[in-house]
């Protein structure tokens, strides 16, 4: 029997900073941003609600046009894989970093600051990824749309 492994990450959180896009010497774009995810739980000893925020660095390849929409505070859905790499810092010390290499990035917030209904959904899939890419198409019948006319179908919902 062949062994199997899975390396898949799904994050829904808020951007901690504006995305930054740089280009490799060969011209490929690399967009980097961080996503904050927060979990809450009730402490059994004190009966108080506790909260913990985790910051995850995300790398998105060949999607420089999406960086303009990825601004601090916006809510995003990110799907990808974990990758750990190492590099030597300026003092020659080896540094290890783990990040999510994104396959899908979907902007959940609208164009306004509050993420209301005025904006749409922006979706990205790097070249070679399965499925459709680009912005989500608006719904033909917004009144029949259970997602508030944002053009989201049941296929777009991650759960």
**Tens digit of each residue's pLDDT (9 = 90 or more) over 27-60:** 899 999 999 999 998 889 998 999 999 999 999 9
Q: Give the integer Cα–Cα distance in Å for 95 and 53.
A: 23
Q: Looking at domain 9-41+49-156, does it have CATH number 3.90.650.10?
A: no
With beta carbons less than 8 A apart as the criterion, state whether 107 and 76 touch.
yes
Q: What is the CA radius of gyration of the chain?
A: 18
Of 67, 63, 52, 62, whose CA–CA distance to 15 is shortest? 67
For the chain, what are the domain ranges?
Answer: 9-41+49-156
Predicted pLDDT of residue 124: 52
Q: Full-prediction pTM beyond 0.85?
A: no
Q: Give the integer Cα–Cα distance in Å for 32 and 106.
A: 15
Helix (H) or strand (E) holding 88: strand 75-88
């Amino acid at each position: 029997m062949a062994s199997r492994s899975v390396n898949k990450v799904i994050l829904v959180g808020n951007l901690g900073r504006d995305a930054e896009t740089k280009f490799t010497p060969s011209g490929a774009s690399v967009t980097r941003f961080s996503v904050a995810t927060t979990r809450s739980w009730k402490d059994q000893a004190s009966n108080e609600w506790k909260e913990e925020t985790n910051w995850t660095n995300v790398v998105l390849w060949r999607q420089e046009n999406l960086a303009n929409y990825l601004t601090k505070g916006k809510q995003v859905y990110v799907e990808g894989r974990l990758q750990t790499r190492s590099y030597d810092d300026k003092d020659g010390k080896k540094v290890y970093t783990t990040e999510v290499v994104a396959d899908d990035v979907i902007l959940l917030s609208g164009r306004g600051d509050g993420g209301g209904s005025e904006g749409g959904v922006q979706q990205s899939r790097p070249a070679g990824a399965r499925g459709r890419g680009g912005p989500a198409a608006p719904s033909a019948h917004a009144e029949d749309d259970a997602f508030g006319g944002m053009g989201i179908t049941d296929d777009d919902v991650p759960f």
